[in-house]
Amino acid sequence: MTAREYQNLTTPLLVDKLIDLEVVDEWSAFRGINYQYSPRVDIAVGPFSVTPNGNQTAEYNRILRRENIDRFLKRVYDLHIENIGLEWMNELNIPEFDFLTRKNQNARCFLAIEIENTSTKKHIMGSMINAASLGRIGIGIAFNDSVKRTFLRILNYLAFLKRVEKNTYDTTNFMILTKEQFLEILNE
């Protein structure tokens, strides 16, 4: 199965799981703004904050209180913690669930999901930054063990930069799952 086929499989399952939330494949964050880079996320979940100087913070906070969303995200969080907890040289400080889900107050979508299969480390880092920036919660789906290791190493590197007081990017709201874990959660 290709990453695109996986995306086509998981998108309708996500629609069923996240009742009443809009789910969009290949969502462009700044459509129609020609002078600005417009990252495209593999799967985005709304509501979408696309009006200038507006945001959906209050709506995202309301969504986070929904029982089905809370249960879904806690399951994602638990598997993410399991995935990063196995690192022997872990620079990461594991955030509390509530801190992670409230980190990006000025997001453009509720969830930004990137599915990575065979990309360069720089491409994967860009996907992580885009998902963490655009989504209230960013999720990286590692299609294989190599990508999972790359996700973890980049998270570790960014945490190291922060610890030694270098310029860095905060990816606190970015969680890593394997393709099997994400599919399992969607089918629960």
Instruction: Please write the tens of the pLDDT for every residue from 15-63.
Output: 999 989 999 999 988 877 777 778 899 999 999 988 777 789 999 999 9
Instruction: Please write the tens of the pLDDT for every residue from 86-107.
Output: 655 678 788 899 999 999 999 9
110 Cβ neighbours under 8 A, 6+ residues apart: 21, 45, 46, 47, 56, 60, 63, 135, 136, 137
Residue ranges of domains in the chain: 3-29+38-187
Buried b / exposed e over 57-83, threshold 16 CB at 10 Å, is eeebeebbeeeebeebbeebbebbbeb
Q: 157: helix, coil or strand?
A: helix
Q: pTM value?
A: 0.94
